[in-house]
Amino acid sequence: MRRFFLFLFIFASLLNGQAQKRQFRGAWIQAVNGQFQGMSRDEMQRTLTHQLDVLQQDGVNAIIFQVRPECDALYESRLEPWSRFLTGVQGRAPYPLWDPLAWMTEQCHKRGMEIHAWINPYRAKTKGTTQLASGHVAVQHPERTFSYDNQIILNPALKENRDYICRVVQDIVSRYDIDGLHIDDYFYPYPAPGQTIPDQQYYESNRQGFSNIGDWRRNHVSLFVQQLSEVIHQCKPWMKFGISPFGIYRNLSSDPVNGSATKGLQNYDDLYADVILWVNNGWVDYCVPQIYWQIGHPTADYATLIKWWDKHAANRPLYIGEDVERTVKFADPQNPDSHQLPAKHRLHQQMSHVNGTVLWYAKAVVDNVGNYGTILRNNYWKFPALQPLMPFIDSKAPKKPRKLKVVETSDGPVLFWQGRKAKNWGDEVTQYVVYRFGKGEKIDLQQETHIVGVSRQNFMKLPYKDGQERYVYIVTALDRMSNESKGSKIKIKI
């Protein structure tokens, strides 16, 4: 009975929330946890199909899919070996041969979702890997790596490694119709007790004008991020380059001016990642800080951190990385009968620059831990959302669709329209938005509640009622950057 009332409370709280027409609603699908390891092609496709179907119903509009956990590949690469997280043995091709990234790209786009290929740049071997393939970069060039905490890391100080990672990314971006390239929070390795990063000799031999090794390391990572951004956008100007850094930039104890009131690990000081520099210089197109803690955490309070990132990382679209299991595990400090999803959602609404969420991780949503997925589906993400705009890449809207008509089929009425031919990538239409308005309703395309659906096709099946209701349908076109055209209108009685 208590669970029932808890759910009613959460449900009522959510009804007070407001959706947004433009919102990044992402979910990370990871491979490094071994969830696909050793699966047959058909098993993995069934698993991913189920996950994508449920996530689509829950309102997710972007998938961040891990394709390179340790200088390996969950795609058909000419540069790196097949991942053991796919086949069980690094270097062993899947049988029958298939390409998970190509398949996922097709499946996501079919569902109206973006897909962002997620790579780990520097990690060459995880703790659990015992054997590397003969063609692996750490086997071919051990002099370009160092060992740390039972891992192997590509040394960020070496230009050869920056060039190599950029070549791998260029290969992915050029061959796959993905929407974004995503890197996570592993730069220099997370500190391990009693261990020292073995790069002092490199620093002493070439200080490059830096008086301390911390600044020297940060400079190398920043050079890499800038170079990677340039390579991605030179290859495809519309490609979105995003990063999901650790949730704390710096503590007040390290930076009394710009630090947060926290006491945890720091991007800047411990991972040598100057994320705010990258955001302010426009080297990344979106930022997803991993604020995985709960409201009221003693050393990394969620409320403190979302406000800090909203203030300091506004120069690029800002989305928040949410831990699903931790959100439903902890009670709202202001309301012990509720878990923290409603309170976190209210904080999102209060922020001036937060315009999206990425869920850690997809399987927890699919498993509906703490009714998280149900609440998204029925409330927060009930209506479709378009992707946030990125005018710094492109701000020109495409031309509107034309020649709308309804065709009666054996399966019911179908609305058809025609798109316009594109002269360049900025004009290319990738999706269409269909709105519906009833009798007496004001035509307002800013209201997401009127969106019937988003389609990559030039048609959409319409819900048939009794043939007596008259509706106005409006179709708009979206380009690669989700710039929206003016609408074309048709009146229909269905």
pLDDT in tens, 35-64: 999 899 999 999 999 999 999 999 999 999
Q: How do 240-243 and 180-183 pair as beta strands?
A: parallel
Q: Give the residue with greater pLDDT, 173 vs 14.
A: 173
Four-CA torsion 52, 54, 55, 59, nearest 10 degrees: 130
Q: Give the residue with greater pLDDT, 3 vs 149.
A: 149
pLDDT of residue 8: 40
Quick one: DSSP state of residue 361? -
Single out the residue of 194, 191, 200 nearest to residue 155, CA to CA.
200
Q: State the pLDDT confidence band at 24, using cuts at 50, 70 and 90.
A: very high
Report the range of poorest mean pLDDT among 236-245, 310-319, 340-349, 440-449: 440-449
pLDDT of residue 19: 56
pLDDT of residue 37: 93
pLDDT of residue 5: 38
Average pLDDT, rounded, for the chain? 94
For the chain, give percent helix, strand, coil, nearest 5.
30, 25, 45
pLDDT of residue 358: 98
pLDDT of residue 493: 83
d(CA 54, CA 434): 22
Quick check: 3 pLDDT over 70?
no
Q: State the pLDDT confidence band at 302, using cuts at 50, 70 and 90.
A: very high
In CATH terms, the fold of domain 24-379 is TIM Barrel (3.20.20)
The strand pairing partners of 393, in sequence order, are none
pLDDT of residue 90: 98
Write out the two tokens for 473: 């349908």
The strand pairing partners of 26, in sequence order, are 62, 358
pLDDT of residue 207: 96
SS3 93: coil
Q: Could you tell me what percent of the chain has a pLDDT over 70?
A: 96
pLDDT of residue 175: 98
In this prediction, residues 365-374 reach a mean pLDDT of: 98
Predicted TM-score (pTM) of the model is: 0.95
Same fold, 24-379 and 402-493: no
Using the CB atoms, write b or e for 279-317: b if 16+ within 10 Å.
Answer: beeebbbbbbbbbbbbbbbeebbbbbbbbbbbebbbbbb
Could you report the per-residue pLDDT of 467-489, keeping only the tens digit for each?
A: 678 999 999 999 999 999 999 99
pLDDT of residue 14: 38
pLDDT of residue 12: 39
Q: Give the residue with greater pLDDT, 257 vs 464.
A: 257
Architecture in CATH of 402-493: Sandwich (2.60)
Domain boundaries, the chain: 24-379, 402-493
In this prediction, residues 363-392 reach a mean pLDDT of: 97
Largest CA distance in the chain: 81
Distance from the Cα of residue 379 to its chain's centroid: 21
Quick check: 2 pLDDT over 80?
no
Quick check: 108 pLDDT over 80?
yes
In this prediction, residues 214-226 reach a mean pLDDT of: 98
Residues ≥6 apart with Cβ < 8 Å to 251: 259, 260, 261, 262, 263, 264, 266
Residues ≥6 apart with Cβ < 8 Å to 354: 306, 309, 310, 318, 319, 320, 348
- The H or E element that residue 27 is part of is strand 24-29
In this prediction, residues 453-468 reach a mean pLDDT of: 86
Could you report the per-residue pLDDT of 251-301, keeping only the tens digit for each?
A: 999 999 999 999 999 999 999 999 999 999 999 999 999 999 999 999 999
d(CA 243, CA 241): 7
- The H or E element that residue 48 is part of is helix 41-57
Q: Give the residue with greater pLDDT, 494 vs 396.
A: 396
Quick check: 20 pLDDT over 90?
no
CB 74 within 8 A of CB 85: yes
Could you report the per-residue pLDDT of 314-341, keeping only the tens digit for each?
A: 999 999 999 999 999 999 999 999 999 9
SS3 14: helix
The strand pairing partners of 260, in sequence order, are 251
